[in-house]
Chains A and B, each alone.
Chain A
Amino acid sequence: MALALDDLKSKKQIADRTFRGMTIAGGVTIVLILGLIAWTIASKSSLAFRTEGLSFFTERRWAPASNVYGALSFIFGTSVTALIAVVLAVPVSLGIALFTTQVAPSWLKRPIVAMTDLVAVVPSVVFGLWGIIFLAPKLVPVFTTVSGWFHGVPILGRIFGPASAGRTFMTAGLILAIMITPIITSISREVIETCPPTDRDGALALGATRWEMITGAVLTHSAGGIVGAVMLGLGRAMGETIAAALVIGSSPAITANLFSSGDSLPSVIAFEWGEATSDAKRSALIAMGLTLFVMTLIVNFAATYVVNRAMKRMRGES
């Protein structure tokens, strides 16, 4: 009897270890894949860094014909469009997530969830085409009007400058915002849903309004998860290729004017790779990919730091 139990125990242990081993193997595989990607990109881009050096990051000119490869305009474009996308998408996504979980009657919940999921299944190239054919032409008068409002206003007048075309930083930012909304919404919603009912009931019982309950109980509970969701969205916005490429205008530029055409890192890779025959140009394009990689790295470092600090502060307060 005791023997059988021991046998069972060791069997259990084997199963336990095997399972654990499998999960570790999963983790190791992921790291290996990423390492492989990083190594491939790094080795293929070394030529550009060797020949261009630091000027790769500080040179704003992109002139393959004269062997000048600068990434600055593209770094700028990627940052600006991703920033616009996040600024626009985060409030909307949180609004949807909160509305679904805290406000909507239960019969309305599923349709809203289905709707945001539907946004996620619209392929990126369709957003791009829709952006060119439908959105961009309609945005020109809007941009002109907005630019008129801010004309002469310091700073804002520069940011919302005159618009010459429909394919601009702002257009790309808008399209990206729509694309990342379902990601941020979906994860935020799941996170918010797990907020213990006792916390919420407690807040309400203490006389809080719904909004106070949300800020006091729901959002504090979910902050970490929501930041994670935003990071995923930001990563997507920075790496999205086809949709942004089609609507950003493909004119490398560094300007405060959000209503002017620009270009971004993934977009230039997609559009220039087909005709990149020289080693120098290919390497420069891969180096753009590596640059984006590093940018994501920095953003993630920053986010981790912010989340950790927020967590510490929360614990300190409670």
Chain B
Amino acid sequence: MNISKKRMGAIAGVLAISLIGAACSSSSTTKTTTAGTTAATTAETGAPTTSAAAGADYSKLEGSLIASGATFPKSFYDEAIATLADLAPKLTVEYGGGGSGKGRSDLQEQVVDFAGTDGVVKAEDIAKFKGGEFVYVPTVIAPITLSYNLPSVKSLQLSPATIAGIYQLTITNWNDAAIAADNPGVTLPDKAIVAARRADGSGTTENFTKFLKAAVGPDAGGTWALGSGSTVEWPAGTQAGDGNSGVAQIVSSTEGAIGYVDLSDAKANQLAVAAVKNKAGKFVLPTLEGASAAAEGATIKDDLTYFLGWADGDAAYPIAAQTWIIAYTKQADPVKAANIRGFLTYLLNEGQTLAPTIDYAPLPESLRLKAIENIAKIGG
């Protein structure tokens, strides 16, 4: 109890979730305290988490789970693991990160029990998975921000074409006519733009460039010529940072810099974020609501894969990213299978109310229910 007191003093908000979660694990309604990293607003959602698995008894889970993969949802999984540890003290879950690609190949080689990924396994790779069939379980969604460092500009709006110009170095100064056209009435400084991007191959880069390709790629009649992928051929002169935090660090330390950073890291570094023009022609700020709105309009395939970028809808933020946990349906060890199901159940129930407090948006209810169905296939 001594430990709990200490933690509570330090981060009351997050802990409240876990304590309430523990207290209410048998009830069907959960009260949520929202404590973002920057703002500490309290909101009562009272969202029902009714499902077959809600209120599951996690205390019986015992053993260890090893996972690796996407870094984009890592801080959500880490926090979920920490809060679940209070409910299931005998279960240790280890999420090592390392990137979506690492997660997929680790699962392919059966070096991990499950893996996180921001991207879908390519059709030609499916046969290589040693453990046979696997399922996608979507967990959370989140916006990718365009964070910038211009102390004199309080709010900034960018259209996809402008973003493409900035990252292809055709727009090199903040007072460029294209940026001015996106921001009527705003005084833009005469300052060189430093475009910051990922040094490492990354699912975030993949989702960001997929959005650009969809919005202003050659097929859309636009100017984006770098294609899409976890690494693209960035022009020399862009600045590279290791991980979301590395990009955020360049932005926060360089006046005139702009970078694509996930919301959680942007908030942790207190960066200013730009509103981005969506498919409907509206400028939308990178918020959890914007990401959720994008998810509402997404086309979900039967295997629960989908792509959130450049989504339809007035309120949809156009650079939202999705992420999944993938696991084999055939499990040799029933205890391990129960553990995986237990952890995923936690993510899709208690985890969904935890997510907004740490800058991730919960899944739309319909998708969440489908995801829970997929959990049942693991080891079943």
Q: Residues of A with Cβ closer than 8 Å to B? A: 61-66, 132, 137, 164-165, 167, 245-246, 249-251, 253, 260-261, 270-278
Contacts and interface: CB of A to CB of B under 8 A. Distances in A.
Interface string B237-250: 11110100010010
B249 A272 contact: no
A276 B202 CA distance: 9
A250 B233 contact: no
Contacts of B259: none
A250 B236 CA distance: 10
Contacts of B237: 164, 251
B203 interface: yes
Contacts of A63: 232-233
A246 B246 CA distance: 9
Contacts of A276: 101, 201
Given A65-B226, A261-B240, A275 B234 contact: no
Given A137-B253, A274-B102, A275-B203, A249 B239 contact: yes
Interface string B209-251: 1000000000000000011111111101111101000100100
Given A65-B231, A276-B201, 15 more contacts: A62-B231, A62-B233, A65-B233, A167-B240, A249-B239, A253-B236, A271-B199, A272-B201, A273-B102, A274-B99, A275-B101, A275-B102, A276-B101, A277-B104, A277-B125
B236 A65 contact: no
Contacts of B104: 277
Contacts of B202: 274-275
Interface residues of B, number: 35
Interface in B182-207: 199-203, 206
A132 to B, nearest CB: 7
A65 B122 contact: no
A167 B236 CA distance: 13
B100 to A, nearest CB: 7
Most B CB atoms within 10 A — which of A137, A250, A261? A250
Nearest to A73: B236
Given A132-B249, A275-B202, A275-B203, A250 B228 contact: no
B99 A275 contact: yes
Contacts of A250: 199-200, 240, 242
Contacts of A274: 98-102, 200-202
The 8 lowest CB-CB distance pairs between A and B, nearest first, are A274-B99, A275-B201, A65-B229, A250-B199, A275-B230, A250-B240, A275-B101, A271-B200
Contacts of B199: 245, 249-250, 271
Nearest to A262: B236
B175 interface: no
Given A65-B226, A137-B253, A277-B101, A272 B236 contact: no
B105 interface: yes
